[in-house]
Chains A and B, each alone.
Chain A
Amino acid sequence: MRVAEKIKHDGGMPAAVPAQPSAEASVPAGMRRRRAVNREGLEAGKRSTRTILWILLAASLVLYGFPFLYLLLTSFKPPIDTIAVPPTILPKEWTLVNYVNALGRSGVVASIINSTQTAIISTLLSLLLAVPAAYGITRYKTASGRVFIMAALVTRMVPPVAIGIPLASMMASAGLADTPIALSIAHTTISLPLSIWLMASFFEAVPQDLEEAATVDGCSRLGALWRVVIPVVSGGIAVTAIFAFLASWNEFLFALLMTAIRSQTTPVVIANFQTQFGLDWGSMTALAAVYSIPVILLTLLLQRKIVAGMTLGAVKG
Chain B
Amino acid sequence: MRITDRRFALYLMTPAALFLAVFVAYPLFRLVADSFFRISPVLGGPRDFVGLDNYVRAFASEAFMGAGWRTLAYTLVVVTLEFALGLGMALLFTTLGRKSQVWRTAFLYPLMIAPIVAGLLWKFLMIDNFGLIGTLLHQAGILSDPNQIGWLSNPDIVLFSVAIPDIWLTTSFMCLVLFAGLQNIPGDLIEAARLDGARAPAMLFRIILPLLRPVIAVALVVRGIDAARAFDTILIQTNGGPQSASETMSLLIYRTMIRFGDPGLASAMGTIYLLAMLGIAFFAVATIWRPGKDS
Give chain A's interface residues, CB within 8 Å of chain B.
Answer: 12-14, 17, 32-33, 35-44, 49-50, 53-54, 56-57, 60-61, 64-65, 67-68, 70-71, 74, 82-87, 89, 128-130, 132-133, 135-137, 139-140, 142, 144-145, 148, 151-152, 154-163, 165-167, 170, 185-186, 188-189, 192-193, 196, 221, 246, 249-250, 252-253, 257, 267, 270-271, 274, 281, 284-285, 288, 291-292, 295-296, 298-300, 303, 306-307, 310-311, 313-315, 317
Contact check, A296 vs B98: say whether CB atoms are below 8 A apart.
no
Residues of B within 8 A of A165 (CB): 257, 263, 266
Contact check, A158 vs B12: say whether CB atoms are below 8 A apart.
no
From the candidates A49, A137, A163, name the one contacting B13 in the complex (CB within 8 A): A137
Mostly helix, strand, loop or mixed at chain B's interface?
A: helix
The CA-CA distance from A64 to B105 in the complex, in Å, is 13
Query: Contacts A133-B13, A189-B24 known; A43 to B124 CB distance under 8 Å?
Result: no
Contact check, B112 vs A84: say whether CB atoms are below 8 A apart.
no
Query: How many Å from the CB of A177 to the closest CB on chain B?
Result: 12
From the candidates A39, A86, A159, A295, name the one contacting B229 in the complex (CB within 8 A): A159
Contact check, B89 vs A60: say whether CB atoms are below 8 A apart.
yes
Residues of B within 8 A of A154 (CB): 278
Residues of A within 8 A of B177 (CB): 310-311, 314-315
10 intermolecular pairs with C-beta atoms under 8 Å apart? A36-B186, A39-B183, A42-B185, A68-B121, A70-B132, A85-B130, A151-B20, A158-B28, A252-B115, A303-B108
Residues of B within 8 A of A310 (CB): 173, 176-177
Contact check, B30 vs A166: say whether CB atoms are below 8 A apart.
yes
Residues of A within 8 A of B254 (CB): 161, 253
Give chain B's interface residues, CB within 8 Å of chain A.
Answer: 5-6, 8-13, 15-17, 19-20, 23-24, 26-28, 30-31, 34, 89, 91-98, 100, 103, 105-117, 120-122, 124-125, 129-132, 135, 138-139, 146, 168, 171, 173, 176-177, 179-191, 208, 214-215, 217-219, 222, 225, 228-229, 231-232, 235-236, 249-250, 253-254, 257-258, 263, 266-267, 270-271, 273-274, 277-278, 281, 289
Contact check, B106 vs A61: say whether CB atoms are below 8 A apart.
yes
Residues of B within 8 A of A285 (CB): 120-121, 124
**Minimal Cβ-Cβ distance residue in B for A42:** B94
Query: Contacts A41-B191, A166-B30 known; A84 to B130 CB distance under 8 Å?
Result: yes
The CA-CA distance from A35 to B185 in the complex, in Å, is 9
Residues of B within 8 A of A84 (CB): 130
Query: Contacts A42-B182, A129-B19, A196-B16 known; A163 to B146 CB distance under 8 Å?
Result: no
Contact check, A157 vs B130: say whether CB atoms are below 8 A apart.
no
List 16 extra interface pairs beyond A86-B146, A139-B9, A314-B215, CB under 8 A: A41-B187, A42-B208, A50-B95, A53-B92, A60-B89, A64-B168, A67-B121, A70-B132, A84-B130, A159-B270, A159-B277, A162-B273, A188-B19, A267-B114, A267-B232, A310-B177
The CA-CA distance from A310 to B235 in the complex, in Å, is 27
Contact check, B117 vs A288: say whether CB atoms are below 8 A apart.
yes
The CA-CA distance from A132 to B218 in the complex, in Å, is 25
From the candidates A42, A68, A140, A257, name the one contacting B5 in the complex (CB within 8 A): A140
Contact check, B17 vs A148: say whether CB atoms are below 8 A apart.
yes
The CA-CA distance from A215 to B231 in the complex, in Å, is 50
**Minimal Cβ-Cβ distance residue in A for B94:** A42
Residues of B within 8 A of A271 (CB): 116, 235-236
Query: Contacts A67-B121, A165-B263, A307-B176 known; A158 to B184 CB distance under 8 Å?
Result: no
